[in-house]
Structure 1
Amino acid sequence: MHQIKLIIILFLVVISSSYSQNKNVKSISRDGVFTTQVKNVTIEGQLFLPEGEGAFPVLIVVSGSDNSTREGLKSFAQFFNSFGYGLYIYDKRGIGGSTGTYPLETLENPNDFLSARADDIISIVNLLKTHTKIKTSKIGLFGSSQGTWVSTIVYDKISDDIGLLIMSSGGVTSTRAEQYYEDLIEKSELSITDANQKIYDYKGDLGYNPKPTLEKTIIPTLFIYGDKDDSHPTHYDKDIVEGMKKSNFTIHFYENANHNLLDVNTQSFPKSLFPQLSNWLISHK
């Protein structure tokens, strides 16, 4: 799964200050750098909270498959802080200030890399639960691309500790079915429309399948998709989510947007993307 350019998305969110409740809000990093332990691995991260006494809901950014550090996300805390949310960013294992080896998928253990990433997130959740400025009932996960699978694994393991989910460009299709979809487009040269229909015929190994977890998910969950995504079958995801008929699920589906949520013609973001995200955040504090 290609990494969604979350940094670019958040950059445009930040400069879209007209959607802020408080344009003068200041982000503050509480207590500097945090570390958590997962067996013999140290995960380093940083918490940004709005000014004030709190307690605040908080989102943990669960990024995709890239190897970038948390540094690029620091400047984006202001957007979430402006709506009264804290933001926790961290370095994945083997990257930046975190130790260990970055987990990669192997043929022998195709799901182990996702489980390892989920364990890292669980250690962060456990840390945030002890913080006096955090509203522990509103610890959420903002997953993008590969990070959506990680987020559902975390929810499956510690559902009582997760208060909301945001799934961007992923979250429903299994790991193997998604690879099949990518192969249909890249190797068989099918159109996005045809590949989204063909995915229903997939009968192979699923790999990690998030659907059973989603079916029992009871917390507010936002799915964000583009209809021209050539990395993930978003039309298929949309059909599955709508078929679940869950009142706690919200879908934002953007015409002509690709995996990075950019319009394929203009390379700009949908005008309604940021206002809709802002409204959802406000309504689920």
Structure 2
Amino acid sequence: MKINFHIILQSLAFILMGFNYNSQEKTSYRERHVTITSKDNFKQHGVLYTPQNSGKLTPAIVVGHGSAPSTYEDVGYYTYLAQKLGFVVLAYDKRGVGESKGIYRRFNLSESQESFDLLSNDMSLWVDFLARQQGVDSNNIGLLGGSQAGWIMPFTAYKNNKVKFIISGEGTPLSAGEEQYFSELTDDRLDGPMSIKEADAKMSEFNGPKGFDPRDILKKIDVPILWIFGTSDPVIPVDASIRELKTMEHPKHEIVVLKNGNHDFVNVETGVSYNLLEYIGPWLAKIGVSK
């Protein structure tokens, strides 16, 4: 996976259109900058968004990151979704980015196990932080994010039993090596050297190093996961990912497929963004997460 700025660019596009995720809910959300200390003793910075006048315990979400060096503002798209659903939200600067200390690591297949272990440790600490906050329903804390977060969030849930649900946008249950192989075949582009269909047909030929492989983790964790894919995503091997999930037959995994959707959840035929709330809201109700 190359460094992926898709969601960051999506957030910027909405801002240019006059839509600011971080101010969208200012009339109904309190915003507080907070810090924690990572396991390796680096200060990590985040922003806690709390609904005003809730009057009851509220479910909460930690927003995850893709592979880019992103701040809490750069994942504002997911923060917005969680706010629209009424959650307490914690978004943070990825380690080594913004006000978070430590070293930001570019994606590197050979280091993916170690790197994802570190990133999931950070996310787990933010889950613990949320669980301690007044007004948070500590029995209903979930994770929401896209792309690389699709690996980090299950790893976090494996380490922290406070995680009760996961919403993964354009993530994959395949290994980092398989994803990188597909990404190189398409060059992360619809007009790349190989089409999505052609690249998918080559997936069975992969025999390289896998790096981080989430399969065992996904089989072990008993956490509901909503997987959202787009059929026109040149970054993630969507068809192979869906085949893998169907093979796993995990009773708590559900798949949503967006026809002609790309890595930004945009229909490439119409140019219109999918409203993910139409899929996430009913799924949350189905698994019993109430606000």
For the superposition of Structure 1 and Structure 2, which TM-score range results when normalised by the shorter chain?
Answer: 0.7 to 0.9
CA contact (8 A) 1:6 1:63 kept: no
Match of 1:191 among 169, 186, 195: 195
Aligned residue for 2:256, secondary structure, equals: strand
> What is aligned with 2:22?
none
Structure 1 segment 45-124 matched on structure 2, within 5 A: 45-51=46-52, 52-73=54-75, 77=79, 79-106=81-108, 109-124=111-126
Q: 1:6 to 1:56 in 2, by over 3 A?
A: farther
Q: 1:68 to 1:107 in 2, by over 3 A?
A: closer
Match of 1:233 among 218, 232, 237: 237
> What is aligned with 2:258?
254
Equivalent residue letter for 1:113: S
Deviation track 1:213-247 (CA, whole Å, cap 9, x = no partner) reads 11223221100000111111011111111222223
> What is aligned with 1:275?
278
CA contact (8 A) 1:174 1:206 kept: yes
> What is aligned with 2:223?
219
Deviation track 1:16-59 (CA, whole Å, cap 9, x = no partner) reads xxxxxxx9971123xx2211111221111111122212311111
Structure 1 segment 8-47 matched on structure 2, within 5 A: 8=10, 26-29=28-31, 32-38=32-38, 39-47=40-48
> Could you tell me how far apart the structure 2 residues matched to 1:275 and 1:106 are?
35
TM-fit CA distance, 1:110: 3.5
CA contact (8 A) 1:77 1:86 kept: no
Paired positions, count: 272
Structure 1 segment 117-132 matched on structure 2, within 5 A: 117-132=119-134
> Could you tell me how far apart the structure 2 residues matched to 1:209 and 1:157 are?
15
TM-fit CA distance, 1:73: 5.0
Identity of aligned residues (%): 25
CA contact (8 A) 1:225 1:254 kept: yes
CA contact (8 A) 1:226 1:259 kept: yes
In structure 1, stretches of 5+ residues that fail to align are 16-22
Equivalent residue letter for 1:109: E
Aligned residue for 2:151, secondary structure, equals: helix
Aligned residue for 2:73, secondary structure, equals: helix
CA contact (8 A) 2:112 2:176 kept: no
Structure 1 segment 127-142 matched on structure 2, within 5 A: 127-142=129-144
Aligned residue for 2:250, secondary structure, equals: coil
CA contact (8 A) 1:4 1:169 kept: no
TM-fit CA distance, 1:150: 1.1
